């Protein structure tokens, strides 16, 4: 489940990182931003129809009992929104988007303000997005391998979310304004590190609801809430607040606040296993 969630998260990260490139390409091809919007809308509609026809329920029994501990599903009716676990997972995804989307929204402007060309700044941000395409499934494989080695599935995913995920994101984002200005190569290296950490948490976010609630119906509702509130809240607020801080206080303050969000996500991830529902 971790790897499958990671592949999905990798697509999300690729979209975030390559969004600007796709938009500029469409505008150049069509000629106007209005036409680019219409073209992109048609593309999304076609892809949605394709997904509806191609999507199938996964086969049962994908994980042999001797390889991965099987989750004992509860048949009891559970309201996920009354559980602490649900809201902690929402905050995890909130801080995921807080760091990742916040970083992508200000990194290019920061690099241009630091003397880099627009092409160099765009390349660095694109590298951050492309790195996430790799780190997301890697995060899924890390958590799955920990489970195969006998670690509790929930603790394995929480550890993967906290350490190779949020901790790397927090440290690299905090250091970005101090190290990225040294050279274009250093800017790319720091962007890659900033783009590596949080996408790792994408790999585990899809598996956490079932690990925590042990109820498929409740886990599905919980995952939907995670996406709606977590991505919606963090993805909308982070660019606004980061840009406002850059204008009023300075670039360094923006990156510090984004790093603090990642650090908060790490702490939440570490305490999350305590709130697993008991059958």
CATH code at position 195 = 1.20.1250.20
Asked, for residue 189, whether it belongs to a domain, the answer is yes
Whether pLDDT at 72 is above 70: no
Asked, for residue 209, whether it belongs to a domain, the answer is yes
Q: Which residue has the tokens 């690299």?
A: 172
* Mean pLDDT comparison of 33-42, 133-142, 162-171, highest-scoring range: 162-171
Range of the domain at 154: 2-60+81-275
Taking alpha carbons only, the member of 86, 90, 246, 269 closest to residue 168 is 269
- The reported pLDDT for the residue numbered 142 is 87
- The reported pLDDT for the residue numbered 254 is 96
- Rounded to whole angstroms, the Cα distance separating 112 from 115 reads 5
* Cα angle value 181/178/195 (rounded, 5°): 80
- The reported pLDDT for the residue numbered 208 is 86
- The reported pLDDT for the residue numbered 65 is 43
Express as a percent the part of the chain with pLDDT over 70.
85
Asked, for residue 65, whether it belongs to a domain, the answer is no
> Looking at per-residue confidence, does 272 or 7 come out higher?
272
Asked, for residue 74, whether it belongs to a domain, the answer is no
Give the predicted TM-score (pTM) of the model: 0.78
> Looking at per-residue confidence, does 74 or 148 come out higher?
148
Asked, for residue 155, whether it belongs to a domain, the answer is yes
Q: What mean pLDDT do residues 145-149 have? A: 88
E strand or H helix that includes residue 50: helix 33-54
pLDDT digits (tens, 9 = 90+) for 260-274: 999 999 999 999 999
User: What value does the mean pLDDT of the chain take?
Assistant: 85
Taking alpha carbons only, the member of 92, 74, 37 closest to residue 211 is 74
- The reported pLDDT for the residue numbered 67 is 44
Q: What mean pLDDT do residues 23-43 have? A: 86
Q: What mean pLDDT do residues 178-203 have? A: 91
Asked, for residue 76, whether it belongs to a domain, the answer is no
Asked, for residue 72, whether it belongs to a domain, the answer is no
Asked, for residue 116, whether it belongs to a domain, the answer is yes
Q: What mean pLDDT do residues 5-31 have? A: 71
Look at the chain and report how many structural domains it folds into: 1
Neighbouring CB atoms inside 10 A of 162's CB total 22
- The reported pLDDT for the residue numbered 243 is 93
């Amino acid at each position: 489940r971790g790897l499958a969630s990671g592949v999905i998260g990798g697509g999300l990260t690729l979209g975030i990182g390559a969004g600007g490139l796709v938009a500029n390409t469409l505008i150049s091809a069509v000629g106007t931003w209005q036409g680019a919007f219409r073209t992109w809308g048609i593309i999304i509609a076609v892809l949605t129809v394709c997904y509806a026809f191609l999507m199938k329920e996964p086969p049962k029994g994908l994980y042999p009992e001797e390889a991965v501990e099987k989750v004992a599903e509860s048949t009891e009716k559970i309201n996920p929104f009354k559980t602490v676990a649900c809201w902690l997972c929402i905050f995890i995804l909130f801080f995921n988007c807080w760091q990742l989307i916040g970083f992508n929204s200000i990194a290019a402007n920061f690099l241009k303000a630091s003397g880099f060309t627009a092409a160099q700044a765009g390349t660095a941000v694109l590298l951050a997005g492309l790195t996430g395409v790799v780190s997301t499934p890697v995060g899924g494989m890390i958590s799955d391998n920990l489970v195969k080695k006998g670690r509790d599935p929930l603790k394995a995913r929480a550890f993967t979310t906290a350490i190779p995920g949020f901790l790397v994101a927090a440290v690299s984002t905090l250091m970005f304004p101090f190290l990225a200005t040294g050279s274009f190569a250093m800017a790319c290296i720091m962007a890659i590190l900033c783009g590596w950490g949080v996408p790792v948490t994408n790999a585990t976010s899809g598996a956490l609801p079932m690990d925590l609630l042990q109820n498929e119906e409740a886990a599905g509702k919980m995952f939907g809430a995670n996406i709606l509130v977590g991505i919606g809240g963090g993805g909308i607020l982070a660019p606004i607040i980061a840009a406002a801080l850059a204008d009023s206080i300075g670039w360094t303050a923006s990156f510090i606040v984004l790093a603090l969000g990642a650090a908060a996500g790490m702490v939440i991830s570490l305490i999350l296993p305590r709130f697993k529902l008991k059958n």
